[in-house]
């Protein structure tokens, strides 16, 4: 079935279509949740909350955007609500190769002399991302890690294009400063 057919079938109460949508997006939603929440249990909970929200609100999905865009927005909202509600302090992840695999160090992977530097850069960058406020982290991850356009990021986060650009600029500046500080030591 095409995705639009699945959506229409799920809206009509077809549990198999709904299960297929969940199966199609569960890894994507979990991975994005983990990148924001930086905690496996919180990511699992956010993924479940996202699909629960999807089931409850699927009838409101109008198809003006892709389903994945709509789901990313739900994930971002759940993560940000959790932070605001509980003032949750995000933990730093020591070993999250998947976050940067083939994004920053892909060309250097095969050169042994850069191995130590790559590992150190990953660690410093991961720690810096962990220090970003959730509002900036979401925008940074959507644009620079997931590769969505500014417009798509705005749709997912319910922000205007200028607000996305501003948050992205501030996130990048913060990360640049954190990396510079780490390598001055």
Concatenated DSSP letters of the chain = --HHHHHHHHHTT-HHHHHHHHHHHHHHHHHHHHHHH-SHHHHHHHHHHHHHHHHHHGGG--SSS-HHHHHHHHHHHHHHHHHHHH-PPPPPPS--HHHHTTTTSTTTTT-GGGHHHHHHHHHHHHHHHHHS-HHHHHHHIIIIIS---HHHHHHHHT--HHHHHHHHHHHHHHHHHHHHHHHH-
User: For the whole prediction, is pTM greater than 0.85?
Assistant: no
Query: pLDDT in tens for each of the 185 residues of the chain?
Result: 688 899 999 999 899 999 999 999 999 999 998 888 888 888 899 899 999 999 999 989 988 888 998 999 898 888 877 766 665 344 333 333 433 333 333 343 444 444 445 677 778 888 899 899 989 999 999 999 888 999 999 999 999 999 999 999 999 999 989 888 887 76
Q: What pLDDT sits at residue 113?
A: 43
Q: What pLDDT sits at residue 185?
A: 66
Q: What pLDDT sits at residue 76?
A: 87
């Amino acid at each position: 079935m095409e995705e639009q057919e699945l959506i229409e079938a799920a809206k009509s109460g077809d549990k198999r279509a709904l299960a297929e949508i969940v199966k199609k997006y569960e890894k994507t939603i979990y991975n994005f949740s983990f990148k924001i929440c930086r905690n496996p249990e919180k990511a699992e909970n956010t993924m479940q909350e996202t699909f629960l929200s999807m089931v409850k609100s699927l009838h409101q999905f109008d198809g003006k955007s892709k389903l994945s865009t709509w789901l990313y927005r739900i994930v971002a909202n759940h993560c940000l609500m959790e932070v605001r509600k509980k003032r949750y302090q995000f933990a730093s992840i020591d070993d999250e190769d998947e976050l940067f695999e083939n994004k920053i160090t892909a060309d250097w992977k095969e050169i042994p002399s850069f191995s130590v530097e790559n590992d150190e850069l990953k660690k410093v960058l991961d720690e810096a991302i962990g220090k970003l406020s959730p509002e900036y982290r979401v925008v940074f991850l959507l644009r620079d890690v997931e590769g969505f356009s500014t417009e798509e990021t705005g749709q997912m986060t319910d922000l205007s294009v200028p607000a996305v650009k501003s948050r992205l600029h501030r996130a990048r500046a913060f990360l640049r400063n954190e990396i510079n500080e780490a390598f001055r030591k």
